[in-house]
Chains A and B, each alone.
Chain A
């Protein structure tokens, strides 16, 4: 997990540094943290991590043993998803912390951002991780192939960014369904509350839908 975190944090920070320097911005702890939280790379790492964990039970056959022991399929899905989501959040926290430290050490100190501007982005991130982890679980439940799951995990954040660009192009809403742009938007003072709320509510609803579909898939299929 530490390896995943470090890779993700470094990738995010390097991309962020390039962007900030290009915009002649200030690189410090909080801007690095902002960049890391906004980064698609971190979510790709989360996707890979979740894929490997979910597939482990299928590839080793342990899921058969677990269900055979009398654990209901619903309980298995909820329990596994909860565990993986929790550890994905830990992964994210470690990555963000590394990014913050890198920005503080190599940049211009800690920086300053009012605390109230961070609450909603953090919540939005948590919801996105939940949705993405549930989505990964659904892909594993349907495909049962690590290769398919990894490809989808790697491509999904980028795919969402593309959809987001299309939405932005054809509407005047500043929703942005991908995490890499919503965070920036959420933190801006001139962003309407509705534009902050809707993507996260949508992610939460979609995440719940993925959980339901995962339960249905695991329930119906033979192991």
Chain B
């Protein structure tokens, strides 16, 4: 997979405040990169820099391994902060404006984009008459004009109702799968991001705390029943007999059983019936929210 976006210690300072502090992220072709952080963590500032809207104080970034970003900027679509358009123009006229700006003469893409974001019925309405969710969807449609290879979306599900959230999620997943579009999405809503992202960047107070893949995240947030016993092999045989096969024997007499934590008591009772009295049995691990909150040290909600 080719590199789509790489930032090299990119930093942004506003006076004495460091909004983004030496952040290096990496996106490969086809990634859905979830940028997670609290409000004010630096997500939007980072996105503004890679979109060309703000200038980095130091560091740099490169799309498609190209040093000159002017050559690749047409392959990037973005929606930063709130979606912006001309309030007195109709929905389709806003799209037509950006078509003209990009030299797109065939306006059939407008029909396709409106259908993609489910705004066909609102095409003749002035954008100031749209609801917040509709504006959000129109912003995504505008970002998609020209069918960019990379889409940068800042809190795209903000203000959407549950149905809208599902629709946007499905749209983004479809774009990623069918058009191989690489997505950089920021959000503070963990649950939604975890349903989409293939890679995560956790950012807190301008610093990239951790970067990990979805499978690494699952591994780290996997809950397990930990058993301590002098002869783990005996435990393993009994677990097989109980029909439990997802476990790992670790050094120092540990066995990690990856199962629903509520089975802890049942496992202990089953071992007791066989005359096996373990030294210790407990539930370990953490859920997604606890993991992220632990990394960021603040409140994040789902």
Contacts and interface: CB of A to CB of B under 8 A. Distances in A.
Given A60-B86, A69-B102, 4 more contacts: A70-B74, A70-B102, A222-B48, A223-B54
Interface string A67-87: 111111000000000000000
Contacts of B80: 64, 68
Nearest to B127: A60
Contacts of B61: none
A217 interface: no
9 contacts: A62-B85, A62-B86, A64-B53, A64-B80, A65-B84, A68-B76, A69-B146, A71-B101, A72-B70
Contacts of B70: 72
Contacts of A71: 101
A54 to B, nearest CB: 14
Contacts of A61: 81-82, 84
B159 interface: no
Top 3 A-B pairs, shortest CB-CB distance: A61-B84, A70-B73, A222-B54
Query: How would you classify the secondary structure of chain A's contact residues: helix, strand, loop or mixed?
Result: helix
Interface residues of A, number: 16
B191 interface: no
B52 A67 contact: yes
A72 B98 CA distance: 14
Q: Which one of B54, B55, B84 has the greatest number of beta carbons of chain A within 10 Å?
A: B84
Query: How would you classify the secondary structure of chain B's contact residues: helix, strand, loop or mixed?
Result: loop
A173 B265 CA distance: 103
B249 interface: no
Interface residues of B, number: 25
A68 B98 CA distance: 11
A220 B142 contact: no
A66 interface: yes
Contact of A220 (B55, B85, B145, B146): B55
Contacts of A67: 52-53
B221 to A, nearest CB: 34
Nearest to B72: A70
Contacts of B296: none
A44 to B, nearest CB: 25
Given A69-B102, A223-B53, A60 B85 contact: yes
Contacts of B85: 60, 62, 65
B183 to A, nearest CB: 16
Contacts of A65: 84-85, 98, 142
Nearest to B98: A69
A72 B101 CA distance: 11
Nearest to A223: B53
B51 interface: yes
Interface in B124-179: 142, 145-146
Contacts of B86: 56, 60, 62
A210 B70 CA distance: 25
